[in-house]
Amino acid sequence: MKPKLAVVKMTGCAGCQMEVLRIEDKLLDLTGAVEIAYFYMATSANRHGPYDIVLVEGSVSTPRELRELKELRDGAKLLIALGDCACSGCLPSIVNWVPPEESAKVYERFLEIHSRKESFQRVSPLSAHVRVDLELRGCPPNRDAILEALKGALLGIRPFLREHPVCVECKLKENACLLVCEGRPCMGPVTAAGCGAACPSNGRVCEGCYGPMSDANASSLAEIFARRCGLSQEDIVRKFRKYAGLMPAFSKEAGGKI
């Protein structure tokens, strides 16, 4: 019997699911190897769980999502966090530093809606609540990494995920270093690879959207940003409090724990 695959959306932008759809030509092949049992954005034939392989896009931001996540975890052989929101909270995690009374102002009748449709007004990555078997980072993660993860899941082997810095991919592309040569505040030295150095290869600094690499030395880079690039303390906080400010490797530079 083919393993059952579920693609589930929590609090996010659907960009990661769009990247799954970008597998395109291989998507039809994939349906030969797995049964797509749950994928609300793509099909109206959705089956009840449990599912063998679960891809979760988005972070946890409501009690309903938390219940759903726990249920998915209980039934799943493999739970894969798909993209930054699920892995680290991504850009919406910046709201965690905003006082709830400020974010509530966005809705004039916040409490009224809130009483019926609860929200934590905070986002958290999946790993804050359940065991996650694999994290596919990036905003969005590259489709090759998604395919690699699915192949790994089917073959029962560990996919090759890149935890070295973006700098390695930049060197392979023979880009001139934006930090060393031009003194620009590039997050590449502390950011996990996987994007193919998308930003530096296109003439702009890395913004850190794959989150921290393994053993990232954030404080050293923050010091270089101040000394070499002339960034203010506020600017440095903004740099680290962006895609992965909740991650322990960046939390000090992102302005401390909340």
> In terms of CB distance, is 68 or 133 closer to another protein?
68
> In terms of CB distance, is 59 or 167 closer to another protein?
59
Cα distance between residue 51 and residue 48, in whole Å: 8
Instruction: Fill in the amino acid letter for 26.
Output: K
> In terms of CB distance, is 12 or 211 closer to another protein?
12
Instruction: Provide the sign of the torsion angle of the four alpha carbons 188, 192, 197, 202, taken in this order.
Output: negative
Cα distance between residue 20 and residue 6, in whole Å: 12
Return the closest-CA partner of residue 20 out of 49, 35, 41: 41
The nearest distance, CB 135 to another protein, in angstroms, is 18
In this structure, what token pair is assigned to residue 253?
């530079």
Binding site for another protein (CB under 8 A): 9, 11-19, 21-22, 24-25, 27-28, 31, 36, 40-46, 61-62, 64-65, 90-92, 94-95, 97-98, 102-103, 105-109, 112-113, 115-117, 119, 121, 123, 139-140, 184, 195, 198-199, 201-205, 207, 209, 235, 238
> In terms of CB distance, is 102 or 223 closer to another protein?
102
The nearest distance, CB 43 to another protein, in angstroms, is 4
Please spell the DSSP secondary structure of 132-160, one letter per residue: -SEEE-SSSPPHHHHHHHHHHHHHT----
Tokens 């909740």 belong to 246
The nearest distance, CB 243 to another protein, in angstroms, is 9
> In terms of CB distance, is 40 or 220 closer to another protein?
40
The nearest distance, CB 133 to another protein, in angstroms, is 23
The number of beta carbons lying within 10 Å of the beta carbon of residue 244 is 32
Cα distance between residue 66 and residue 44, in whole Å: 24
> In terms of CB distance, is 99 or 156 closer to another protein?
99
The nearest distance, CB 12 to another protein, in angstroms, is 7
> In terms of CB distance, is 2 or 214 closer to another protein?
2
103, 104, 106, 111 alpha-carbon torsion, rounded to 10°? 160
The nearest distance, CB 74 to another protein, in angstroms, is 20
Q: 68: Cβ–Cβ under 8 A, 6 or more apart, which residues?
A: 8, 10
The nearest distance, CB 91 to another protein, in angstroms, is 5
